[in-house]
Each structure stands twice: as C-alpha cells, then as structure tokens.
Amino acid sequence: MPLPAFAGSDHRIKLLQGSQEFFPALIAELDGAQRDVQFETYIFSTMGEGASVAAALERAARRGVRVRMVVDGVGTGRIAEPWGTRLVQAGVQLRVYSPLGPLGLLLPSRWRRLHRKLCVVDARVLFCGGINVLDDFEDPYRGRLEAPRLDFAVQVQGSMVAYACAVMDLLWLRMQAVHEVRRRQLAHALQDWRAAQALHRLRARTPRQGRGVRAALLLRDNLRLRTRIERSYRRAIAQAREEIIIANAYFIPGGKLRRALVLAAERGVRVHLLLQGRYEYFMQYHAARPVYGALLAAGVHIHEYAPSFLHAKVAVVDAEGARPWATVGSSNLDPLSLLLAREANVMVRDAEFARILRARLMQAIDGCEPLAAQTYANRPWHERVLDRIAHVLMRVALWVTGKDY
C-alpha cells in the first residue's frame, strides 16, 4: 500500500512568490538547520542567486548536518562545477534520479521524471511548490531575463511535515537500494530495501485538529498515486460556485478536466486561466492551443502571461466563498505531470491564504490582455498547422507510453 495523502488542521502556511521570496526563506532555514536536510528538485542551477542556495547547503553539511539531496537526471543531470565537487566534499549526499543512459529520452521509460520540489529541514519545516533552484532572472537557454518568471511555493509548519519526511525517506532508500545493487552490494541493498518497505507500510499520524490552517500534501507517482492531484482539481472545480482562477505554465488538460471547466463556466462560475504567453518549448506552447477553442466558446477567460515566463502551477477557487480552496505545487496540467512525473502539491482550505493567492494572481492577470475568441479563431494558418502537428505528436507519445488521456 502507498503512503496515504496527509491532511490536518494544525498548519501554518506562508505563500512565497518567486526565487526573490523563496530563496531567502529557504536559506534562513538551511542556515538554522541542526540535524537534517532533505532536498529534492528538478533543476538545480548555480547561475545567479542559485549559487546562494548551493552555498547554504554546503555550510549546513560542513557543520555536521546530514544533507540528502536528489536532483533529476534530465532537469539537472550533473551539477555544474565547481559546485558539484564542493557539495560532495562538504559532505552532501547527492543522488541523481533516473540518469539518462546512452539512448537518453529515446526510451519512453526515461520520460518518468522527478519533477517535485520539496525541502524539509529538521523535520520541522517544509517547502513545496513549483520553484526550482534557478534564479528568476536567469534562463539556461536565453540568458538574462528582463523580468522575473512568475512562480510560487509555500513554507509549511505542522503535522504535514512528518509525512513529507517519510515520503522523501522512502524515495531516498529506494534509490539507495538500486545504487547498492549496481555496485553488487547485495546485503546493503537488502537492508535499504527492507527499510523502504517499512516506510511503505507507514501511515501518517492522526491529523491534528488545531487552530491552524487545514491543508494536505498530495503526491503523484507511477504506482498507486497516479490521479490524486488531478482528482483534487476536478473535485474543486465541480464544487466551485463563484470563481476559479488557474495559473499553469504548461496547460494541456485531458478530457475530464476540460469538461469540468466548461461545465463550471456554463453554470455561471467565473473561470480565469492564466497561461503561458511566451514561446518557450515547441510542444508545450503549440500543443496547448487546440484546447482553447472549446474553453473560449464556453465563456472561459484566457489570459496569456507575457511580461516574462510563466512557471506557476497554482489555483484558487471561491476565495470569497464559504469553501475556499487553493493549491500550490509542482504539477502542471499536462500529460507529463499528470501521467508520468513524480509531483507534489499542497492543497489549502483557508480563506486568508486563498485571498492572498487570489490577489497575486489577479495582479498578474490585470497586466495581460484577455484572449478574444475571434482573435484565436483568426490566428495565422501557419500557427494552426504547428498547433495541430504538436497535438498529433503529443497523442503519438501518449500512445507509445500506453497512456489514456
């Protein structure tokens, strides 16, 4: 049985926007760490301010804190020098999730990535969201950006943190067991595997009923937690009565999620989508656009973010209503996130948090021109051709993986 989703009402949660808010909060906790740091990220870049996070991890390890760090084999691969060597020499225990072999991404099994961004310090505080260790003003392919990318994370204290610790320990022990098998250290591998199995049977402690914020940590993996994040979105959309705001970098929803949004708009709910307005990647940019037509026809408001790159994966529903709901996490609403990658989202039911997130999103939306249905219908023919090619390629890739979306 998998680790269950965790929910409780004793949490303190702070919204962090961009690396400019996230990095100082993270570094402060790393510099205060006394025993243990667990760290997972998709991209670990030491460009710009990313080096300050690397330096904080190095300082923690040098003063005797156990630092376990997992980076993705595609998003990061090998950490750029000299930081790769400096971190290991300081005592950081570093693992690369699913390194690319000689065939790289030609193997569909390599499409399953570690995309979640989690950090737990001293089993006391959790960071979760969409923000990589990547300076908001730096782009690995385009250099210095004129404006920071838009992204969010949360800083959490409460009983959810113990569950996050168990989740991260479970992945570490499984990776460690695989590492030992490759080194033919079978006795050590068996020991690690048994420890992983013990965590696999763990149940989160009984949720505390306190005076804090009601929140849950939801995961997506390729075993038993395949649809939990998507089902949470669909449930919140179905229960919406006043307003839905979704900001998502790579928005290619499946049929069920699209229908949920259309039905919400048709029953009078205000639906605002803040989506990527800048060209970043061919597939993500062009494969998203064929789904816009049905949404616009139903009355959904689509705003394409253009000041910089949009990287957020957040949503807020009925912030001013009786049952406010919000989420901040790593999961895009596209096939890679919802069908293949390991993801983590924090779901929050709290009026104050929902209002704060809504205000940040509305500020971003106010700076965007809404996409008119007529403008979408009259886009140039070559864009429509590229949109269709990308959509077909996506369907072929899903067929190769055997996934139904």
Share the mean pLDDT of the chain.
90
Whether 391 is catalytic: no
**Which residue ranges form the domains of the chain, and what is each CATH number?**
6-200 (3.30.870.10), 216-401 (3.30.870.10)
Per residue in 369-404, is it b (16+ CB within 10 Å) or e — as a string? eebebeeeeeeeeeeeebbeebbeebeebbeeeeee
Residue 5 confidence (pLDDT) above 70: no
Whether 256 is catalytic: no
Selected catalytic residue, list 11, 272, 286, 313: 313
Report which of 71, 80, 4, 76 is spatially closest to residue 40, judged by C-alpha positions: 71
Maximal C-alpha separation, the chain? 66
**Facing residues of 251 across strands?**
333
Summarised one tens digit per residue, pLDDT across range 231-266 is 999 999 999 999 999 999 999 999 999 999 999 999
- For 267-319, the three-class secondary structure string (H helix, E strand, C coil) is CCCEEEEEEECCCCCHHHHHHHHHHHHHHHHCCCEEEEECCCCECCEEEEECC
Q: Report DSSP letters for 165-199, one per residue.
A: HHHHHHHHHHHHHHHHHHTT-HHHHHHHHHHHHHH
Summarised one tens digit per residue, pLDDT across range 29-74 is 999 999 999 999 999 999 999 999 999 999 999 999 999 999 999 9
How many residues in total does the chain contain? 405
Selected catalytic residue, list 11, 117, 286, 303: 117
Selected catalytic residue, list 318, 334, 350, 387: 318
Summarised one tens digit per residue, pLDDT across range 100-145 is 888 888 787 788 999 999 999 999 999 999 999 999 999 888 889 9
Q: What is d(CA 361, CA 351) in angstroms, rounded to the nearest whole number?
A: 15
Selected catalytic residue, list 10, 14, 36, 122: 122
The residue-averaged pLDDT of 146-172 equals 93
Residue 23 confidence (pLDDT) above 90: yes
Whether 382 is catalytic: no
Residue 342 confidence (pLDDT) above 50: yes
Summarised one tens digit per residue, pLDDT across range 266-322 is 999 999 999 999 988 898 899 999 999 999 999 999 999 999 999 999 999 999 999
Selected catalytic residue, list 11, 72, 115, 350: 115
According to DSSP, residue 336 is labeled: I
Contacts of 12 (CB under 8 A, 6+ apart): 156, 157, 158, 212, 213
Res. 204 pLDDT band, cuts 50 70 90: very low
Letter for the amino acid at 171? Answer: L
Whether 403 is catalytic: no
The residue-averaged pLDDT of 169-173 equals 90
pTM above 0.85, yes or no: yes
